[in-house]
Chain A
Amino acid sequence: MHKPGEKTDVMVINLLLFVAGLAVYAGYGISSIYLLAVTLLSYLAGRLIPRYRSVMWVSTVLQILLLLLLRAQHWLPWQPMIAPIGISYFTLQVMAYHVDLYRGKYEPEKNLLTFGLFVTYLPHLFMGPIEPYARMRTALEERKISGDFFLKGAVRSLWGLLKKLVIAARLGVIVSAISAEPERYQGAYALAAMFLYAVQLYADFSGGIDIVLGVSRMLGIRMSENFDAPYFAQSVREFWRRWHITLGEWLREYVYIPLGGSRKGKLRRFMNTIVTFLVSGIWHGGGYLLWGLLHGIFVSWGEKFRTGSKTLNRVATFLVVSFLWSFFIWPDTATVLRMAVSVFTVFNYDALPAGISGMELSGGDWIVLGVACLLLWIYDWKSRVLKARFCAFPMAAKVGVAGLLALTVLTFGMYGIGFTASEFIYSRF
Chain B
Amino acid sequence: MKKRRKTILSTGAVVVLFCIAFLLISRLLQPKYMTDLEEGSFISQYYREAGGHDVIFLGDCEVYANFSPMELYRNYGITAYIRGTPQQLVWMSYYVAEETFRYETPRVLVFNVNAMRYSEPVSEAYNRLTIDRMRWSGSKLGIVLASMTEEEQFLSYVFPILRYHSRFDKLTREDFSYFFRVKDNSYNGFQLHTEVVSAGSLPVKKALSDYRFGEICFKYLDKLRLLCEDKGTELVLVKAPSLYPYWYEEYDQQIKEYAAEYGLSFYNFVEQTEKIGLDFSEDTYDGGYHLNLSGAVKLSRYFGNILMEEHGLADHRQDPELAPVYDKKLQMYDETIEERLKEQKDEEDR
Chain A residue numbers with a CB within 8 Å of B163 are 416-417
A-B contact pairs, 13 of them (CB 8 A): A364-B168, A365-B169, A394-B7, A394-B10, A395-B10, A395-B11, A403-B17, A407-B18, A410-B25, A414-B166, A416-B162, A416-B163, A416-B165
Q: Are B14 and A412 in contact (CB under 8 A)?
A: no
Q: Are B156 and A416 in contact (CB under 8 A)?
A: yes
Secondary structure dominating the interface of B: helix
Q: Are B13 and A411 in contact (CB under 8 A)?
A: no
Within 8 A of B (CB), among A342-391: 362-365, 367-368
Q: Are A400 and B14 in contact (CB under 8 A)?
A: yes
Closest Cβ of chain A to B122, distance in Å, is 15
How far apart sit A397 and B14, CA to CA, in the bound complex (Å)? 8
Task: Count A-B pairs with CB separation below 8 Å.
Answer: 63
Secondary structure dominating the interface of A: helix
Q: Are B17 and A411 in contact (CB under 8 A)?
A: no
Q: Are A395 and B169 in contact (CB under 8 A)?
A: no
Chain B residue numbers with a CB within 8 Å of A407 are 18, 21-22, 25
Q: Are B11 and A396 in contact (CB under 8 A)?
A: yes
Determine whether A119 belongs to the interface, using a CB cutoff of 8 Å to chain B: no
Given contacts A395-B11, A403-B21, contact A364 B169 (CB under 8 A): yes
Classify chain A: how many residues form its interface, as a range.
Answer: 20 to 34
Determine whether B257 belongs to the interface, using a CB cutoff of 8 Å to chain A: no
Closest Cβ of chain A to B136, distance in Å, is 20
Determine whether B161 belongs to the interface, using a CB cutoff of 8 Å to chain A: yes
Beyond A364-B170, A394-B10, 4 additional pairs, beta carbon < 8 A = A364-B169, A399-B14, A407-B25, A416-B165
Q: Are B169 and A417 in contact (CB under 8 A)?
A: no
How far apart sit A11 and B78, CA to CA, in the bound complex (Å)? 71
Q: Are B14 and A403 in contact (CB under 8 A)?
A: yes
Q: Are B165 and A412 in contact (CB under 8 A)?
A: yes
Determine whether A406 belongs to the interface, using a CB cutoff of 8 Å to chain B: yes
How far apart sit A397 and B22, CA to CA, in the bound complex (Å)? 17
Chain B residue numbers with a CB within 8 Å of A399 are 11, 14-15, 18
Closest Cβ of chain A to B10, distance in Å, is 4
The residue from B13, B21, B151 contacting A396, defined by CB atoms under 8 A apart = B13
Determine whether B152 belongs to the interface, using a CB cutoff of 8 Å to chain A: yes
Chain A residue numbers with a CB within 8 Å of B152 are 417
Determine whether A281 belongs to the interface, using a CB cutoff of 8 Å to chain B: no
Residues of B within 8 A of A (CB-CB), count: 25
Chain B residue numbers with a CB within 8 Å of A417 are 124, 151-152, 163
How far apart sit A405 and B15, CA to CA, in the bound complex (Å)? 13
Chain B residue numbers with a CB within 8 Å of A394 are 7, 10
How far apart sit A280 and B224, CA to CA, in the bound complex (Å)? 64
Chain A residue numbers with a CB within 8 Å of B170 are 362, 364
Within 8 A of A (CB), among B24-41: 25, 29
Chain A residue numbers with a CB within 8 Å of B10 are 394-396
Chain A residue numbers with a CB within 8 Å of B25 are 407, 410-411
Chain A residue numbers with a CB within 8 Å of B21 are 403, 407
How far apart sit A414 and B167, CA to CA, in the bound complex (Å)? 11
Q: Are B161 and A410 in contact (CB under 8 A)?
A: yes
Closest Cβ of chain B to A360, distance in Å, is 12
How far apart sit A364 and B168, CA to CA, in the bound complex (Å)? 8
How far apart sit A365 and B169, CA to CA, in the bound complex (Å)? 8
Q: Are B165 and A410 in contact (CB under 8 A)?
A: yes
Chain B residue numbers with a CB within 8 Å of A368 are 168
Contact indicator per residue, chain A 136-167, by CB within 8 Å of chain B (1) or not (0): 00000000000000000000000000000000
Within 8 A of B (CB), among A54-78: none
Contact indicator per residue, chain A 217-229, by CB within 8 Å of chain B (1) or not (0): 0000000000000
